[in-house]
Amino acid sequence: MEAPMASIFEELNVRPVLNAQGNRTLLGGGTPSETVRTLMDDSEEFYVNLGELMDSVGHRIADMLGVEAALVTSGCSAALAVGAAAIISGDNQDNIERMPDTTGMRSEILIQRQLRVKYDRCMTIPGGKLVEIGDEDRTTVDQLEAAIGPNTAAIHYLAPGDRTPGALPIETVIEIGHAHDVPIIVDAAGQVYPTDLLSAYVNMGADLVAYGAKYFGAVNSSGVLTGRKELVDVARKHSFIGFEDSSVRSFGRPMKVDRQEVVAVYGALREWLTMNHEDRFAAYEVRISALRSDLTGLSGITLSDYPAHGPAEGLFIEIDADVVGKTAGDVIEELRAGNPSIWVREHQDDNGLAVRMLTLKENGEQIIAQRLREILS
How many C-beta atoms lie closer than 10 Å to residue 10's C-beta? 11
Residue 357 pLDDT exceeds 90 = yes
Q: CA triplet 226, 113, 98: central angle to 5 degrees?
A: 55
pLDDT classification of 309: cutoffs 50, 70, 90: confident
Please tell me whether residues 133 and 217 are part of one structural domain: yes
Please tell me whether residues 50 and 191 are part of one structural domain: yes
Please tell me whether residues 315 and 168 are part of one structural domain: no
* Alpha helices for 205-306 (secondary structure H): 229-238, 240-244, 259-274, 277-295
Judge contact between 54 and 71, C-beta under 8 A. yes
Please tell me whether residues 264 and 327 are part of one structural domain: no
Please tell me whether residues 87 and 193 are part of one structural domain: yes
Average pLDDT over residues 119-128: 98
> In three state form, how does the secondary structure of 51-74 look?
HHHHHHHHHHHHHHHCCCEEEEEC
* C-alpha span between 58 and 156 (Å, rounded): 23
pLDDT classification of 349: cutoffs 50, 70, 90: confident
Cβ-proximal residues to 276 (8 Å cutoff; 6+ apart), any chain: none
Q: Which of 272, 170, 176 is nearest to 224 (CA)?
A: 272
Average pLDDT over residues 142-147: 98
Q: Determine the structural domain holding residue 114 and report its residue range.
A: 34-274
Average pLDDT over residues 235-250: 96
Of 251, 274, 297, which residue constitutes the final position of a domain? 274
| Average pLDDT for the chain | 96
Please tell me whether residues 21 and 129 are part of one structural domain: no
Identify the CATH number of the domain in which residue 315 sits.
3.90.1150.180
How does DSSP classify residue 252?
B
Output the CA–CA distances (angstroms, integers) from residue 288 to 291, 314, 371, in the order listed.
Answer: 5, 6, 16
Please tell me whether residues 330 and 184 are part of one structural domain: no
pLDDT classification of 250: cutoffs 50, 70, 90: very high
Query: For residue range 202-219, what is the model confidence (pLDDT) as tens digits?
Result: 999 999 999 999 999 999
Of 218, 248, 274, which residue constitutes the final position of a domain? 274
Please tell me whether residues 83 and 189 are part of one structural domain: yes
Instruction: Find the distance separating the first CA and the last CA of the chain, reported in whole Å.
Output: 34
Plot region of 127 (φ>0 → left; ψ -120 to 50 → alpha; else → beta): left
Residue 245 pLDDT exceeds 80 = yes
pLDDT score recorded for residue 305: 97
Burial 303-326 (b: 16+ CB within 10 A, else e): bebbeeeeebbbbbbebbeeebeb
pLDDT score recorded for residue 203: 99
Average pLDDT over residues 146-171: 96
Identify the CATH number of the domain in which residue 54 sits.
3.40.640.10
Parallel, antiparallel, or unpaired for β 341-347 and 352-356?
Answer: antiparallel
Please tell me whether residues 21 and 111 are part of one structural domain: no
Please tell me whether residues 17 and 163 are part of one structural domain: no
Q: Which of 68-72, 159-163, 222-226, 372-376 has the lowest mean pLDDT?
A: 159-163
How does DSSP classify residue 310?
S
pLDDT score recorded for residue 3: 43
Count of structural domains within the chain: 2
Q: pTM value?
A: 0.95
Torsion angle of the four alpha carbons 217, 218, 220, 224, in this order, in degrees rounded to the nearest 10: -110
Please tell me whether residues 309 and 351 are part of one structural domain: yes
Average pLDDT over residues 329-349: 94
Q: CA triplet 75, 237, 77: central angle to 5 degrees?
A: 20
One-letter identity of residue 39: L
pLDDT classification of 355: cutoffs 50, 70, 90: very high
pLDDT score recorded for residue 163: 82
pLDDT score recorded for residue 6: 59
3-state secondary structure of 184: strand
Plot region of 47 (φ>0 → left; ψ -120 to 50 → alpha; else → beta): beta
Of 221, 253, 274, which residue constitutes the final position of a domain? 274
Please tell me whether residues 165 and 221 are part of one structural domain: yes
pLDDT score recorded for residue 377: 87
pLDDT score recorded for residue 310: 87
pLDDT score recorded for residue 268: 99
Q: Which of 315, 351, 353 is nearest to 332 (CA)?
A: 353
Average pLDDT over residues 224-235: 99
